[in-house]
Amino acid sequence: MLRLGRREFDAHEPVIMAIVNRTPDSFYDRGATFRDEPALARVEQAVAEGAAIIDIGGVKAGPGEEVTAQEEARRTVGFVAEVRKRFPEVVISVDTWRHDVGEAVCEAGADLLNDAWGGVDPKLAEVAARYGAGLVCTHAGGAEPRTRPHRVRYDDVLADILRVTVGLAERAVGLGVPRESVLIDPGHDFGKNTRHSLEATRRLGEMVETGWPVLVSLSNKDFVGETLDKPVKERVIGTLATTAVSAWLGAQVYRVHEIAETKQVLDMVAAIAGHRPPAVARRGLA
């Protein structure tokens, strides 16, 4: 059982996490949801299309202009409070690595802290514990926030992913984060080249076997683009193919831009796996 905010999810229940960037320079939408009105419209659309989690980010992952903790909080805290007011049942996640931002968004109503940089600020887990919030424990290969990998090497990338993510998850539980609210994430592209991310996908079942719920953030990422030699706006098909493989191997939470398309993929895989009946079954019966 995965428990986040007011929601509980069964072990075989796929969960969609919709990306809402409060940044003017995100790699995918280029600031489309930086202002409040379009951002709130995006949340409404995402919930209507089947997202159970809204992941709010105030700093883009890649290099760029410096964003202080104060500016990150300005972009996210008030928005979290407004989403909490308008959508009381939705799970609110905030993509941050900073404990002071984590504290402020938890005060505003966030249910989950999505630490994409692998525990670089160890106090973030303490904040999650103090507020009873969930925590995403991600492998970033020891990279500093907002840096790109350069000639990174692993003897065994999946072994390193397991060592780091399981270690972070166990530490979080030891600090008091509810075990049923901790997830692990292989961190596609973070501290990895394309071959590393492909191997992490191919061996995702090894992460699932740990018993921790697995979150994957695949949407339109560089490893998809390099694999298919496609620019950012032409990576949806590759993303959905990777989503289907990840679902078959047992990942549970999917951080995405395209919600409706992802839901169809996850529903189809769940039906093939026997976890979900067909929506309609008339063929051969009429």
Is 74 designated active site? no
Rounded to 5°, the CA angle 29-32-36 comes to 140
User: Distance (Å, rounded) from C-alpha 160 to C-alpha 171?
Assistant: 16
Catalytic entry in 22, 60, 192, 255: 255
Q: Which residues contact 137 (CB under 8 A, 6 or more apart)?
A: 115, 118, 119, 164, 165, 168, 169, 172, 182, 183, 184, 185, 212
Let me know: does 97 contact 127? Beta carbons within 8 Å: no
Is 233 designated active site? no
Q: How far is CA 164 from the centre of its chain?
A: 17
Let me know: does 51 contact 17? Beta carbons within 8 Å: yes
Question: From start to end of 96-162, where are the E strands?
Answer: 112-115, 134-138
**Number of neighbouring beta carbons within 10 Å of residue 271:** 13
Catalytic entry in 22, 60, 192, 221: 221
Q: Which residues contact 192 (CB under 8 A, 6 or more apart)?
A: 141, 149, 152, 157, 200, 223
The set of catalytic residues is: 221, 255
